[in-house]
Chain A
């Protein structure tokens, strides 16, 4: 959910682009990290762990912990909290360490 009403921070821009998460289109704002667009759409699971398939999501938000990595445009292990969205980006929930698929 986006923080639209805030007591003193300025108004926010409307989403201006679309990204695709596991094939489903979601709105995003140019310049924001992928993880922000995901949270705005209520998506919190980024990947499943390699051994037990347990879900992981954004944790540190500053690119250190790598819990939020996903496969982005075919490239696995992209830190979604520090990687900006791009129009028509293909974001996929990552299983384990992921694999390189049709990297653009």
Chain B
């Protein structure tokens, strides 16, 4: 006999925690499963203050948001299974079978509703020497300096001027590393001006229209050769420059970790502005597979603040579908979340994400 529960949330990052909190708050039964040994996803490495309004917890550092969410899940009595990678979701007659490994053994739970909040992972780019030890994701370096408090190297070249590249550069400086340069292939800085200004004030050169030509080294990064690019992104001969760096951090975007959604049989749509192939979902964050919801980076790569709101939305919708809320109660709650989400997707940085999200909803309604 398999254990049966009302709902399972996969992934204990900002989206999954928020979803589990909403289901528990509504009086629903929820099991939160995560492959890591600690909950919180990538929140605990985010030591900067968040943006947005007070409802979005602006001004609060990411890890403190993580602590708040964990306290809430504890108070509400959410069951959390850690060190438990989920490897499959199967449709059964009496619900969705969620299979996972725990302490080396296979286990499974049958749930009426499943919320996928698996998150995203960093993209990589290839160049000669890109596999040498010392070349790593910017998020990897961020985890090492802020969570584990070790420096992956002392002299860093950052690739990519989106918010991750800018913020992690600043955090590397705070941790005591030198950032020799930030290179950006595009002709302008990708992230917020306020973050770029911080590292410029600290003396880090931001080299737009530049990329890495190669990394030099035998067993580790010993130096980095950068080169200027023309308007067609071709290297301009004669502009090469060698930087005595020991570390390269890649901040070149993230991709949604959609494996479980593919396995569950969800329909997908391609949304470059959100990181790639995204499970089609409706206003309730429900996918084309009834009872399977998505939230956070798996539903389109954005930020922790949007991930939390999407998690709330999926949680409220799942609770409603389980009969914990009346239609009117759920409608009022969902409207509040949608208002906050819309506010987070405004401005020159949010518009593309807003449009892509709207496109996903159109696809869910049967459009193209």
Contact = CB atoms under 8 A, between A and B. Distances in A.
B121 to A, nearest CB: 5
A58 B146 contact: no
The main secondary structure of chain A at its interface with chain B is loop
A74 to B, nearest CB: 16
Given A39-B144, A45-B219, A57 B150 contact: no
A37 B151 CA distance: 10
Interface in A67-104: 67, 81-82, 84
A59 B144 CA distance: 11
B140 A3 contact: no
Nearest to A11: B149
B262 to A, nearest CB: 16
Contacts of B36: 63, 82
Most chain A beta-carbon contacts within 10 A, residue among B42, B121, B134, B149: B149
Contacts of B105: none
Interface in B150-177: 150-154, 174-176
B45 to A, nearest CB: 9
A62 B220 contact: no
B280 interface: no
Interface range on chain B: under 10, 10 to 19, 20 to 34, or 35 or more?
A: 20 to 34
A21 interface: no
Nearest to A32: B148
Interface in B125-143: 131-137, 139-141, 143
A36 B220 contact: no
Contact of A3 (B131, B132, B150, B153): B150
Interface in B1-49: 35-37, 42, 47
Nearest to B61: A8
Contact of A61 (B47, B134, B140, B175): B140
B145 interface: yes
A100 B148 CA distance: 29
B149 A9 contact: yes
Contacts of B145: 3
Given A6-B175, A36-B144, A45 B150 contact: no
A56 B131 contact: yes
Given A9-B47, A46-B133, A61 B143 contact: yes
Given A3-B145, A61-B143, A40 B137 contact: no
A44 to B, nearest CB: 4
A28 to B, nearest CB: 11
Contacts of B176: 1, 3, 5-6
Nearest to A44: B133
A50 interface: no
A35 B139 CA distance: 15
A81 B140 CA distance: 9
Interface string B261-305: 000000000000000000000000000000000000000000000
Interface of B: 35-37, 42, 47, 121-122, 124, 131-137, 139-141, 143-146, 148-154, 174-176, 219-220
24 contacts: A2-B151, A3-B149, A3-B151, A3-B175, A9-B47, A9-B146, A33-B148, A36-B148, A37-B150, A39-B150, A44-B133, A44-B152, A55-B219, A57-B220, A58-B152, A59-B136, A59-B137, A60-B122, A60-B140, A61-B137, A61-B139, A61-B141, A64-B121, A82-B37
